[in-house]
């Protein structure tokens, strides 16, 4: 088994936060006790202190490492365990303490709450490592029952379990079971991930409520599903406003390399200005159906809501390298009201996701997003630089319902089409900019038998010379389009007049004929892809039909001028 070189030093923001937490806790707790590995402080072992101290106590660990002979058990206790103290009696924590499993067949820390209100546990400045539990649940930490567990700057590395190699969470009625991963907590790391022999490499969540704040779930693996997170039984996964990025990256599984969510799981993740939420570099790989590199969602009632998320550079082989939604699940992606700085048109991204075979060749159908007999609503998002054999950007099949608005689709690459609408799926596309993609044949193939398989409106839809816009026998409807030379689909043939497409700036210039070009239908988003005001009727620009600009960006140059422009 790999051995992690620990303890970790504390980042300055983490040290400040944990110091503040400890100061508040010390005033509240009645008893503070120190434990070191030699057993020469207040208690001979951590377990003895946990068992003996009254509710609300704090246990301070004054050694770099403890090698445990059995799982540290916390049963219906209200206690705080803090690592990183340099000596018995030291006033402040300065680093982390490692709890290393010197045994097999259990988690490093085993936590049980079966009485309402009895379990309240804070773990601070700790590393839980080296569990070897290949036929059991939980590697770094096992939590069953009800209560509240808070992790602050806790590292969970190099653990093995059948399910939930990093953290195993199972809520038991009447619940609830709440777990917060905060302040630099890491579940796995590159070269030090947790390994589930079945499901849930990083986090296994059954019915619990998990809060993520400045947390990293990285480098974990699962043989079947949920390399980073495996969530089901109405698990809730929610990001917080805590300072620092939250990342689910570099994980792997056969399905759902980053996240696999089913059975009514509710996920709501949100970036904020200067605080990124990313699901990146995850891989769906294996001998059976490698799908959903970044996120895999299935079952009615399962919901994924992401405000300002980056789903990028994930990989799978069959379909849905970025986002895979099936069997009644739903996904909603947008920029959110608090997720992005105004003017930032890259805060919501489905980018750089790939479908590839083991030999590196392009494979599969639907790299960026795949939706099958499910629902996906995507707005204020860049879908770019995705690649696969066909349908690099989007694929909808079965009875899928796909809605896109204020979306840029650019720089995607396929051997065949850009978008596939199959089965009896339907796609409603409005206020899109589709430009600078690479593919062979038609950009959108519509083979769906739905009565309204494809509706495309108020959009800029450009294809490379020699390619066609739409193919297939499915029912289509088009209105108010700029389709470039030839005026396909009844669209206008003029140039789009982008501000600087070569550098990825697809906002419209002052001289664009796409300004004030389409009718306002009512109910439009108040902002465009960049979060700038939408439906601006420019003074001095005659309306062709109405005040809405075509494409993902509304012209706002008049609002940005300061009076000194030439």
Cβ atoms of 394 and 419 within 8 Å: the answer is yes
For 468-471, which contacts have Cβ atoms below 8 Å and span 24 or more sequence positions?
A: 468/441, 468/442, 468/443, 469/442, 469/443, 469/444, 470/442, 470/443, 470/444, 470/445, 470/446, 471/417, 471/441, 471/442, 471/444, 471/445, 471/446
pTM, entire model: 0.94
18 phi, psi to nearest 5 deg = -70, -35
Chain Cα centroid distance, residue 566: 44
Please state, in angstroms and rounded to a whole number, the distance separating the CA atoms of residues 289 and 117. Answer: 43
Cα 378 to chain centroid distance, Å, stands at 15
For the segment 507-563, what is each residue's pLDDT rounded down to a tens digit? 999 899 999 999 999 899 999 999 999 988 776 666 567 889 999 999 766 555 443
DSSP-derived letter for residue 36 is -
Residue 127 in contact with residue 99, Cβ under 8 Å? yes
The 3-state DSSP class for residue 470 equals strand
Distances (CA, A) of 566 to 505, 506, 509: 21, 22, 15
**Residue 431 structure tokens:** 């206020």
Which tokens go with 506?
């697809």
pLDDT at 10: 53
Q: How far is CA 550 from the centre of its chain?
A: 30
Task: Look at residues 184, 178, 308 and name the one whose alpha carbon lies nearest to residue 244.
Answer: 184
What does the longest C-alpha to C-alpha distance in the chain come to?
A: 85
Q: How far apart are CA 267 and CA 330, in angstroms?
A: 11
Q: What is the per-residue pLDDT for 27?
A: 33
Neighbours of 302 (CB within 10 A): 27
**pLDDT number for residue 4:** 43
Q: 3-state DSSP call for residue 83? A: coil
Strands 65-68 and 78-82: unpaired
> pLDDT tens across 125-172, in order?
999 999 999 999 999 999 999 999 999 999 999 999 999 999 999 999
Low-confidence ranges of the chain (pLDDT < 50): 1-7, 12-13, 16-20, 22-29, 561-566
Three-state SS sequence of 145-166: ECEEEEEEEEEEECCEEEECCC
């Amino acid at each position: 088994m790999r051995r992690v070189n620990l303890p970790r030093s504390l980042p300055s923001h983490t040290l400040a936060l944990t110091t503040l937490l400890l100061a508040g806790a010390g005033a509240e707790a009645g008893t503070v006790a120190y434990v070191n590995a030699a057993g020469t402080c207040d208690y001979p072992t951590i377990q003895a202190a946990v068992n003996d101290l009254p509710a609300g106590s704090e246990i301070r660990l004054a050694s770099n490492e403890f090698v445990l002979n059995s799982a540290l058990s916390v049963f219906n206790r209200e206690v705080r365990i803090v690592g990183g103290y340099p000596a018995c009696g030291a006033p402040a924590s300065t680093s982390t303490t490692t709890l290393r499993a010197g045994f097999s067949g259990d988690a490093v820390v085993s936590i049980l709450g079966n009485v309402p209100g009895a379990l309240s546990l804070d773990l601070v400045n700790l590393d839980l490592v080296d569990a070897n539990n290949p036929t059991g649940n939980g590697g770094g930490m096992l939590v069953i029952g009800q209560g509240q567990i808070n992790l602050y700057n806790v590292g969970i590395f190099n653990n093995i379990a059948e399910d939930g190699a990093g953290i195993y969470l199972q809520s038991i009625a009447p619940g609830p079971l709440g777990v917060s991963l905060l302040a630099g907590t890491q579940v796995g790391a590159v070269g030090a991930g947790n390994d589930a022999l079945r499901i849930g490499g990083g986090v296994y969540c059954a019915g619990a409520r998990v809060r993520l704040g400045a947390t990293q779930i990285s480098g974990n693996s699962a043989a079947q599903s949920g390399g980073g997170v495996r969530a089901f039984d109405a698990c809730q996964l929610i990001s917080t406003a805590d300072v620092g990025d939250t990342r689910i990256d570099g994980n792997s599984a056969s399905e759902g390399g980053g996240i696999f969510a089913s059975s009514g799981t509710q996920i709501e993740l949100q970036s904020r200005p200067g605080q990124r939420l990313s699901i990146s570099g995850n891989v769906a790989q294996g001998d059976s159906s490698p799908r959903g590199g970044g996120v895999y969602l299935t079952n009615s009632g399962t919901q994924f809501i992401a405000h300002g998320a980056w789903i990028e550079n994930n990989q799978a082989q069959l379909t849905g390298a970025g986002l895979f939604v099936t069997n009644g699940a739903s996904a909603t992606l947008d920029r959110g009201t608090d997720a992005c700085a105004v003017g930032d048109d890259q805060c919501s991204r489905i980018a750089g996701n790939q479908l590839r075979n083991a030999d590196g060749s392009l494979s599969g159908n639907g790299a960026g997003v795949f939706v099958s007999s499910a629902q996906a609503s995507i707005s204020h998002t860049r879908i770019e630089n995705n690649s696969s054999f066909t349908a690099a950007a989007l694929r909808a099949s079965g009875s899928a319902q796909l809605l896109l608005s204020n979306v840029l689709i650019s720089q995607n690459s396929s051997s065949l089409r850009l978008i596939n609408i199959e089965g009896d799926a339907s796609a409603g596309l409005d206020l899109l900019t589709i430009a600078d993609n690479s593919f062979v044949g038609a950009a959108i193939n519509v083979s769906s038998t739905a009565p309204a398989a494809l509706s495309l409106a108020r959009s800029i839809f450009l294809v490379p010379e020699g390619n066609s816009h739409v193919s297939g026998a499915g029912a289509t409807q088009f209105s108010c389009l700029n389709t470039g030379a030839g005026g396909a689909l009844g669209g206008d043939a003029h140039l789009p007049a982008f501000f600087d497409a070569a550098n990825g700036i697809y906002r419209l210039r002052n001289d664009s004929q796409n300004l004030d070009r389409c009718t306002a239908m009512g109910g439009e988003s108040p902002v465009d892809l960049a979060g700038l005001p939408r439906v601006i009727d420019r003074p001095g620009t005659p309306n062709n039909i109405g005040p809405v600009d075509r494409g993902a960006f509304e012209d706002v140059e008049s609002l940005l001028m300061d009076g000194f422009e030439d």
